[in-house]
A and B are shown apart, each in its own frame.
Chain A
């Protein structure tokens, strides 16, 4: 199997973050959860990567590992190589989670927005004060200037009457407006990478559409990369350049959005896409559904994590060793013994069979 040699840092200019074989174990009462069991992806400058998968597959743990904000009981291993200003290429997992270095990255070079904007804001302070705090911490101590910058970002994310809104408290904001304010707070220091963890899941579709539109526009303005985490395959299709599909703590398939949606190869990806009805397509009698449920990530048997539910499993192969994420030759990577490769790669005669 030809894979990149591990443990070397590639010097591809464009790649701003690379996650390699990330694993996270969590000690719980019943034993150890292998909650993240091998996450691999990279994100290039200005690009949006969609990390998709059903609830519990390890998306949030992965994103929090990047920022070093997981609980103490979560033990992470692997590499998260980030091209940090002032530090060069560093493995974020090796930084002291409370040290100066990670703090120069967290909230400044990498910032995050999540599903519940209410949780991100303190009810005690005005929205303006809270956005301004980030500005003053990272950009300028000059009071007047920093307020100007904060207001400017509030306007950029489409908060009407920003001057008035600046002095209001979180409870005076609707869910959609609060999410805009959170985006403003995340963008105020012009991060290289924005992690958006289910940023629109709690919102209505028309508000979601507004927020997604804003995010796309801001990405053009600010040029940041986005790690867009969601369980919604529709949202990914409209937002992302590339996609990484997770199942049971592992990235099982990754490639360009166009490729993943047109030629899904991993049986889980196929099942997931098959389960989603597309408006306007002929009504099948039944929706495709993946049998069974996701197992608990504890004392997992050997082999592929999808084995129990997989329609293409090969007995004696898939339940013996674990498939690795392999490039089929066109950047489309699949972790499955039963997959023969991406049709695109085959056309170019590069199939990795």
Chain B
């Protein structure tokens, strides 16, 4: 397998949560693929199902339906969601997740050394103690942690450092794919830039594939090769980054882009306001889920759900009017 080949092919992922007699359709029939060595971004507002989707991919949740076809390092194609426990154990380390919150995702009673070592203990129980510690030290140094402080507890570390601990913990198993869920969202910009640069370097060095989940569109635009936009549990648009940001084809993407604050007073975009609020995912609208807020809505939109289709090469959209609308995106320098 070489860089650029399909490493992950998620098909028709569905995740329903049942609680208090209602069913929340957190993820509804989402399909996308990820190529080896690339960063695929997923954006959308809170509650649209990004975290749930990420957790389904790493099988931290058992999805209600769908397939995650994974091409193993040996080139074998397996359905990550169907494999048995033993095979799972073998491949789980190849797909890791870095969790959202650098404050709550680290066990406060464990030293940082033990936190980073834990996945090794679980996955390589036979590994020698010295080898394990060496591996932890190497990874810690790689992500820019001061290795003399590893015997300390997480509370002694700043937000940026804790995020590095989370990255080290994911990296220690030598994964091929890392799902980053809002991995830099809680950090101040200058620290955010440090961590983004680190993720970049690690990707180059280890040929990592990232699924980068974030509500921050500027960060996603910077880091991703391709980007998917989610709304109310559905993928509404998916395209190479520049295409998506400069020529969006879905009305929701257009509004979302127009709402992004731009750090330049001379380049303020005209906002395309979204009326109202996101509907309840337990009780989604009929037809196109976005029709209640869409400025281009027609009668058909309220009755018939649009199909998610490849309308231009590599550009997937779920909107009845995608081809006739001329939507606004960002101007690019070149």
Contacts and interface: CB of A to CB of B under 8 A. Distances in A.
B189 A272 contact: yes
Contact of A208 (B160, B194, B259, B268): B259
B266 interface: yes
A204 B200 contact: no
A274 B200 CA distance: 17
B259 A271 contact: no
A258 B266 CA distance: 8
B264 interface: yes
A275 B265 contact: no
Interface in A254-281: 257-258, 261-262, 271-281
Interface in A93-114: none
A237 B263 contact: yes
Contact of B190 (A54, A213, A235): A54
A279 B193 contact: no
Nearest to B262: A234
Interface in B252-310: 255-256, 258-268, 271, 273-274, 277
Given A176-B277, A232-B261, A213 B271 contact: yes
A258 B263 contact: no
A235 B261 contact: yes
B330 A279 contact: yes
Contacts of B256: 205-206
B334 A279 contact: no
Interface in B302-334: 330-334
A246 to B, nearest CB: 12
B44 to A, nearest CB: 9
Contact of B191 (A204, A210, A277, A293): A293
B30 interface: no
What does DSSP make chain A's interface, helix, strand, loop or mixed? helix
A278 B197 contact: no
Contacts of B203: none
Contacts of A213: 271, 273
A278 B268 CA distance: 12
A55 B160 CA distance: 12
Contacts of B188: 54-55, 231
Given A204-B215, A205-B217, A293 B273 contact: no
Among B246, B265, B273, B334, chain A packs the most CB atoms within 10 A around the CB of B265
B222 A283 contact: yes
Contacts of B262: 234, 237-238, 278-279
A206 B45 contact: yes
Nearest to B161: A293
A207 interface: yes
B78 interface: no
B158 interface: yes
A205 B260 contact: yes
A233 interface: yes
Interface stretch (A18-26, A69-77, A132-140, A284-292): A284-292
Nearest to B159: A55
B221 interface: yes
A298 interface: no
A282 B333 contact: yes
Centre residue among B46, B189, B259, B266 by max chain A CB count within 10 A: B189
Interface in A159-178: 174, 176-177
A317 interface: no
Contact of A237 (B196, B221, B265): B265
B245 interface: yes
Interface string B94-119: 00000000000000000000000000
Contacts of B215: 204-205
Interface string B193-216: 110110010000000000000010
B245 A276 contact: no
B263 A273 contact: yes
Q: How large is the interface on B (under 10, 10 to 19, 20 to 34, 35 or more residues)?
A: 35 or more
A290 B222 CA distance: 18
B201 to A, nearest CB: 9
Given A275-B193, A283-B222, A257 B260 contact: no
B45 to A, nearest CB: 4
Nearest to B223: A277
A209 interface: yes
A54 B197 CA distance: 19
A274 B258 CA distance: 22
A277 B259 contact: no
B24 interface: no
Contacts of B196: 287
A206 B197 CA distance: 28
A176 B189 CA distance: 24
Contact of B259 (A176, A209, A272): A209
B218 A281 contact: no
A282 B331 CA distance: 11
B271 A209 contact: yes
Contacts of B333: 280-282
A262 B222 CA distance: 21
A209 B190 contact: no
A234 B218 contact: yes
A179 B236 CA distance: 28
Contacts of B46: 204
Nearest to A200: B261
Contacts of A232: 261
A288 B190 CA distance: 8
A276 B256 CA distance: 19
B190 A275 contact: yes
Nearest to B276: A160
Interface of A: 54-55, 174, 176-177, 204-210, 213, 231-238, 257-258, 261-262, 271-283, 286-290, 293
Given A279-B262, A288-B193, A290-B190, 5 more contacts: A234-B218, A237-B268, A238-B261, A289-B193, A293-B158
Query: Which 5 A-B pairs have CB atoms at the shortest separation, nearest pair first?
Result: A234-B261, A289-B193, A209-B259, A275-B193, A54-B188
